[in-house]
Amino acid sequence: NKAMDIYYQYKIYMSDDAVNWTLVIDKSNNDKDVPHDYVELTKPINARYVKMENIHNASGLFAISDFRVFGNGLLEKPKLVSQFKVDRSSTDSRNAMISWKKQSDAIGYTIYYGIDPNKLYNSIMVYDESKYDFRGLDKGTKYYFTIEAFNENGISVKNEIIETE
């Protein structure tokens, strides 16, 4: 027994000045149950502001818990991270102090690590810092680390992999 009122309708607008708005996505006639809708634009749009207009939702109470917009900025990607170091604690090898030189062109950094240099599947995202006190390694296990910087224009090249014991 499908409930006929479980559907989501909305419109998404974009603007450069938060005054003049352009309709970009119109789901006002949608009749599907898509609480986690994904919409990919057919062509890129340059905009500074995004707003969403709710038309209908299943509960009648409108709330947004996650609204993500993907794209690239118009400036340069960050440069390679310099002075990247991983100092594993000699008193407790489960801990490591990871540090790097803060970059003015980066808003954050992603540290990748793993137990094989070809399998750096774990990551830590750090914003507006130049160090990270890592307390989650296994004793007696060799780890490998690298880092990349990111901003609204993209990501830097990853650094050389550092091996720690």
Q: With contact defined as beta carbons under 8 Å apart, do 93 and 136 qualify?
A: no
Determine the pLDDT at residue 1: 54
Amino acid at 130: S
Closest alpha carbon to 127 in 103, 96, 95: 103
pLDDT at 61: 84
Confidence (pLDDT) at 3: 64
Q: Which residue has the tokens 């917009």?
A: 69
8 Å CB contact between 49 and 16: yes
Q: What is the DSSP string of 23-57?
A: EEEE-TT--S--TT-----SS----SEEEEEEEE-
Q: How far is CA 61 from CA 7, 52, 94, in A?
A: 13, 15, 46
Record the pTM.
Answer: 0.68
Per-residue pLDDT in tens (0 to 9) along the chain, 165 residues? 566 678 889 999 999 999 999 999 999 999 888 888 899 898 888 888 999 999 998 887 888 888 888 877 888 999 999 999 999 999 999 999 999 999 999 999 999 999 999 999 999 999 999 999 999 999 999 999 999 999 988 999 999 999 998
Q: Which residues contact 93 (CB under 8 A, 6 or more apart)?
A: 137, 139, 140, 165
